[in-house]
């Protein structure tokens, strides 16, 4: 399979080589901090990176951060509910636990389960930009950074001495079918030293009909952040957020007819960043604290699962620039993860790591970025994690490559799900004996940086050992039977011995303004994937990722109106379960469209929107039926 994927990759490289040269590097080669920790233009990272700005997010027909991610090139969002209710994030195949989500340098991934990674505790209006780093990143970030990293950077934490003092207040509301009411408000104020951002968002609906219930949701986020320049060299930033979500969760986690579940999650989030920069030296100390409660009720006669997970973390980094071509970064990280649960029991685990990386540019065309991490987990022991990135650029054309090891430790659900109950008659069973999974990733790619567009193609392969996923397991083969019924049907969290995921991805970005009045922007991503289980058995989430994914966005704006369209086409292995809706078909295409009319220039706009405009019946995971066509309209005010 892997040699066959080289054909579209080679064609993309040949196309890039034949494109006409341009005079300058533009914003399509953005400065990024995700690949190397220190600020570096993306063409010098040796990696495939995608960056979307906050103002572009505001124009999309979306209502939550996970819906934004759904249309970014190469990102597969396996949605279980609309507008932020529930989604799993996958990059380059694998499972949803293998994507690391970061907010202003601090990990968001919850220690209970990777299902909660999409619950990001900020108002979308706070976002300055999002950086998507595809591929292995464990040498810098440690566990979970297997398929890639999603880094959300907010305006307050990005504020620096070069920022222009400003004041901006935005507010909007949307109403629509099925009792939909969404609202958001945000206030952002800056001076040369101070930046303050306060905002909130609420998404609510009675929901479209499901099997015996309606797919309701009530989702609320309130966030406040501030940064202050203490001196010419020191800056302090802080955020406090509260996120509350209540929604129908029918067949989000099971395929049983008796599943009419509901779920409620509440999260308190705090983070602090103290940074220092003077000439060629910089230092930052970050700390974060996450406290999440999860109340899950399977059906009206079941006992609720009550889980409270906590994540305490700190990260210190130091950077020294020897000159414009060579820089060195070193850091240390600590995490304490804990859970108190009537279902999973009470557990605490500590993790620590030290890492170092260097970026060196030779003759202004060749950039090398080696990195090395020593990671310690009190359950899994020590892991040495190396990585090497390289890029060669001449004119507007670049070739790049990367190779590195990745690691992931099991979360509390994978280790202990249902282990603390008195009797379990069927369902997913955690496995306390799980090993940490590891893999080695290779990739090679090419990029063309034009004046108005960028084309990137990457060929990649990831070789797993001890991959963790859920597999159907007979009662007689269950390692622990103390609370299991002999007649039950079970899925056990298992280490799959060996698996290879191979693929090729191509991203295209275009942005151009005509006559200073008409702006057209477009992005598109195509990803082909194949996962081969060489030893072990077929598993649930591995079999759920797309074999082919095409997604993207198109928008046009002038002084009077704007139109934005999002769409995705997905091919995967079909799946179904008897007695429930939400069959996973072999393929589907969905699109959403939004039109804005600017009533008062830069002040007031009215909009209409159609989600799932073609009324497609589809599901990303078996049983989790997604809504059909949803019509809505609203307004937005800017002061």
Q: Taking Cα atoms as reference points, which of 48, 35, 20 lies closest to residue 447? A: 48
Say what the pLDDT of residue 11 is: 41
pLDDT digits (tens, 9 = 90+) for 50-65: 999 998 998 898 999 9
Q: What percent of the chain has pLDDT over 70?
A: 94
Over range 133-158, report the average pLDDT: 92
> Which of helix, strand or coil describes residue 142?
coil
Say what the pLDDT of residue 16 is: 37
Give yes or no for residue 202 having a pLDDT over 90.
yes
DSSP assignment of 250-311:
TTSS---TT---EEEEEEEEEEEEEEEEETTEEEEEEEEEEEEEEEEE-STTSPPEEEEEEE
Which residues have CB under 8 Å from 301's CB, separation 6+? Answer: none
Write down the mean pLDDT value for the chain. 90
Which residues have CB under 8 Å from 578's CB, separation 6+? Answer: none
* pLDDT, greater one: 44 or 182: 182
Which residues have CB under 8 Å from 140's CB, separation 6+? Answer: 35, 36, 37, 355, 357, 371, 373, 387
Which residues have CB under 8 Å from 302's CB, separation 6+? Answer: none
When pLDDT is cut at 50, 70 and 90, the band that residue 99 belongs to is: very high
Over range 155-162, report the average pLDDT: 85
Over range 247-268, report the average pLDDT: 93
The 3-class SS string of 389-411 reads EEEEEECCEEEEEEEEEEEECCC
Which residues have CB under 8 Å from 184's CB, separation 6+? Answer: 123, 124, 125, 170, 171, 172, 173, 199, 200, 201, 202
* pLDDT, greater one: 147 or 9: 147
Query: CA-CA distance, 106 to 335, in Å (whole number)?
Result: 11
Say what the pLDDT of residue 435 is: 93
pLDDT digits (tens, 9 = 90+) for 564-578: 999 999 999 898 888
Over range 136-147, report the average pLDDT: 90
When pLDDT is cut at 50, 70 and 90, the band that residue 69 belongs to is: very high
Say what the pLDDT of residue 405 is: 95
Say what the pLDDT of residue 362 is: 92
- Angle among Cα 134, 140, 146 to the nearest 5 degrees reads 40
Side-chain-facing half-sphere of 243: CA atoms under 13 Å: 25
Find how far residue 116's CA is from the centre of its chain.
11
Say what the pLDDT of residue 7 is: 41
The dihedral through the CA atoms of 77, 79, 84, 86 has a sign that is negative
Give yes or no for residue 23 having a pLDDT over 80.
no
283 class by beta-carbon count within 10 Å (0-12 exposed, 13-18 middle, 19+ buried):
middle
Query: CA-CA distance, 81 to 585, in Å (whole number)?
Result: 17
CA distances from 331 to 139, 317, 354 (A): 11, 4, 6
Helices (H) and strands (E) in the chain, counts: 6, 32
Give yes or no for residue 3 having a pLDDT over 80.
no
What does the block give as tokens for 59?
């124009």
Give yes or no for residue 237 having a pLDDT over 50.
yes
Give yes or no for residue 624 having a pLDDT over 90.
no
Say what the pLDDT of residue 185 is: 96
Over range 612-624, report the average pLDDT: 92
- Among 6-10, 127-131, 344-348, 498-502, the minimum mean pLDDT is found in 6-10
pLDDT digits (tens, 9 = 90+) for 27-45: 567 777 677 777 777 777 7
Say what the pLDDT of residue 537 is: 67
Give yes or no for residue 25 having a pLDDT over 60.
no
pLDDT digits (tens, 9 = 90+) for 436-493: 999 999 999 999 998 898 999 999 999 998 888 888 899 999 999 999 999 998 999 9
Under a CB-based contact definition with an 8 Å cutoff, are residues 37 and 357 in contact? Answer: yes
Give yes or no for residue 14 having a pLDDT over 80.
no
Query: CA-CA distance, 265 to 116, in Å (whole number)?
Result: 9
Q: What percent of the chain has pLDDT over 90?
A: 74
What does the block give as tokens for 338?
């804990």
Say what the pLDDT of residue 532 is: 84
When pLDDT is cut at 50, 70 and 90, the band that residue 515 belongs to is: confident
Query: CA-CA distance, 146 to 136, in Å (whole number)?
Result: 5
Give yes or no for residue 296 having a pLDDT over 80.
yes
> Strand 148-154 to strand 99-103: parallel, antiparallel, or no bridges (unpaired)?
parallel
Say what the pLDDT of residue 100 is: 95
β-bridge mates for residue 550, sequence order:
526, 569
Say what the pLDDT of residue 543 is: 76
Say what the pLDDT of residue 47 is: 87
- Which range is most confident: 154-163, 260-269, 357-366? 260-269
pLDDT digits (tens, 9 = 90+) for 393-410: 988 899 999 999 999 999
When pLDDT is cut at 50, 70 and 90, the band that residue 163 belongs to is: confident
What does the block give as tokens for 280?
């060629």
When pLDDT is cut at 50, 70 and 90, the band that residue 539 belongs to is: low
Query: CA-CA distance, 34 to 53, in Å (whole number)?
Result: 15
């Amino acid at each position: 399979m892997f040699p066959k994927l080289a054909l579209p990759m080679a064609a993309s490289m040949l196309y890039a080589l034949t494109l006409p040269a341009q005079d300058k590097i533009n914003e399509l080669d953005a400065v990024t901090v995700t690949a190397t920790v220190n600020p570096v233009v993306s063409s010098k990272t040796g990696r495939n990176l995608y960056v979307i700005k906050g103002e572009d997010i505001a124009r999309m027909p979306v209502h939550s951060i996970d819906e934004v991610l759904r249309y970014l090139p190469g990102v597969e969002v396996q949605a279980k509910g609309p507008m932020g209710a529930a989604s799993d994030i996958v990059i380059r195949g694998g499972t949803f636990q293998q994507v690391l989500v970061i907010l202003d340098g601090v990990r968001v991934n919850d220690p209970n389960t990777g299902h909660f990674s999409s619950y990001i505790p900020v108002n979308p209006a706070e976002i300055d930009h999002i950086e998507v780093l595809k591929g292995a990143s464990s040498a810098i970030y440690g566990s979970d950074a297997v398929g890639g990293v999603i880094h959300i950077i907010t305006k307050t934490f990005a504020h620096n001495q070069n920022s222009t003092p400003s004041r901006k207040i935005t507010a909007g509301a949307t109403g629509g079918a099925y009792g939909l009411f969404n609202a958001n408000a945000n206030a952002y104020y800056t001076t040369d030293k101070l930046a303050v951002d306060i905002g909130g968002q609420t998404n609510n609906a009675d929901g479209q009909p499901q099997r015996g219930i309606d797919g309701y949701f009530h989702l609320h986020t309130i966030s406040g952040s501030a940064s202050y320049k203490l001196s010419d060299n020191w800056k302090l930033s802080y955020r406090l957020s509260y996120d509350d979500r209540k929604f129908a969760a029918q067949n989000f986690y099971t395929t049983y007819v008796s599943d009419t579940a509901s779920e409620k999650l509440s999260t308190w989030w705090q983070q602090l960043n103290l940074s220092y920069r003077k000439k060629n030296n910089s230092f930052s100390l970050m700390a974060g604290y996450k406290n999440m409660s999860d109340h899950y009720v399977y059906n009206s006669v079941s006992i609720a699962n009550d889980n409270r997970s906590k994540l305490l973390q700190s990260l210190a980094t130091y950077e020294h620039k020897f000159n414009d071509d060579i820089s060195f970064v070193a850091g240390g990280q600590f995490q304490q993860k804990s859970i108190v649960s009537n279902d999973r029991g009470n557990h605490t685990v500590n993790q620590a790591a030290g890492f170092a990386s260097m970026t060196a540019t030779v003759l202004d065309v060749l950039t090398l970025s080696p990195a090395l991490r020593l990671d310690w987990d009190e359950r899994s022991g020590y892991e040495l994690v190396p990585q090497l990135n390289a890029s060669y650029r001449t004119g507007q054309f670049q070739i790049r490559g990367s190779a590195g090891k990745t690691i992931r430790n099991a979360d509390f659900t994978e280790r202990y799900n249902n282990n603390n109950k008195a009797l379990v008659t069927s369902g997913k069973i955690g496995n306390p004996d799980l090993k940490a999974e590891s893999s080695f990733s290779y990739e090679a790619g090419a990029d063309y940086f034009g004046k108005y567009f960028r084309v990137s193609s990457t060929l990649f392969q990831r070789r797993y050992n001890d991959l963790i996923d859920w597999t159907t397991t007979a009662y007689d083969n269950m390692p622990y039977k103390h609370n299991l019924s002999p007649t039950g049907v079970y899925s056990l969290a298992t280490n799959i011995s060996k698996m290879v995921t191979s693929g090729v991805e191509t991203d295209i970005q275009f942005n151009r303004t005509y006559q200073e009045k008409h702006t057209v922007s477009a992005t598109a991503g195509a990803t082909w994937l194949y996962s081969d289980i060489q030893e072990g058995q077929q598993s649930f989430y591995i079999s759920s990722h797309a074999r082919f994914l095409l997604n993207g966005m198109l928008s046009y704006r002038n002084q009077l109106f704007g139109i934005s369209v999002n769409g995705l086409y997905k091919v995967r292995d079909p799946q179904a379960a008897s007695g429930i809706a939400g069959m996973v078909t072999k393929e589907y295409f969905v699109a959403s469209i939004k039109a804005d009319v600017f009533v008062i220039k830069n002040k007031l706009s009215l909009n209409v929107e159609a989600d799932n405009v073609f009324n497609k019946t589809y599901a990303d995971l078996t049983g989790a039926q997604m809504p059909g066509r949803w019509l809505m309209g609203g307004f937005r005010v800017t002061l």
